[in-house]
Homo-oligomer: A and B are copies of this chain.
Amino acid sequence: MKKNILEIRVRYVETDQMRVAHHTSYFLWMEAARSELMRTNGMSYRTLEERGYFLPVREAHCRYRNSLKYEDIALIETELLEIGGASIKLGYRIFNKENKSSIADGYTIHPFTDINGRIVKTPGFFREIFED
């Protein structure tokens, strides 16, 4: 299914006193990366919300293997793993751009909801755009 790679440079604010990017930044990068995946496939998440569909996070997971320093560039490789009846699952692999070493892996699961937070079925137009 759809894949994408987003480059992100580690910001100073993201470092902590261990001198590496804080573990919560990885979830921010995953969010930015799935936004980018949707946008580059012609259906931005902003547009999705304008159509009345929302993708809150039901589950988020990250496994950290290595660390990143200030000014390092992370590559966030994102893949839409599953389009379910009322939810989607995305997988992420994070690399250090410089030496391609593996930094972290993760996934997120998102139900489709309406503006009131009620679960709704995966819209047909979403499936059409994102299924190969």
Q: Is the contact region of chain A dominated by helix, strand, or loop, or is it mixed?
A: mixed
* A102 CB within 8 Å of chain B: no
Copies in the complex: 4
A28 and B11 contacting across the interface, CB-CB below 8 Å: yes
A60 and B23 contacting across the interface, CB-CB below 8 Å: yes
B70 and A39 contacting across the interface, CB-CB below 8 Å: no
List residues of A whose CB falls within 8 A of some B CB. Answer: 9, 11-13, 15-20, 22-24, 27-28, 31-32, 35, 39, 44-46, 49, 54, 56-64, 67, 69-71, 117
Task: Find A59's partner among B15, B24, B64, B71 (CB 8 Å cutoff).
Answer: B64
Known: A12-B35, A24-B28, A28-B13. A57 touches B64 (CB 8 A): yes
CA A64 to CA B27, docked complex, whole Å: 14
Query: Which of chain B's residues have a CB closer than 8 A to the CB of A56?
Result: 18, 20, 23, 64, 67
Known: A17-B70, A27-B23, A35-B12. A64 touches B58 (CB 8 A): yes
CA A8 to CA B18, docked complex, whole Å: 22
CA A75 to CA B13, docked complex, whole Å: 19
Extra contacts, 17 of them, besides A15-B16, A24-B27 (Cβ < 8 A), are: A11-B32, A15-B17, A17-B19, A17-B49, A17-B70, A18-B56, A23-B57, A24-B28, A24-B31, A46-B69, A46-B71, A56-B64, A56-B67, A57-B64, A59-B63, A60-B61, A67-B117
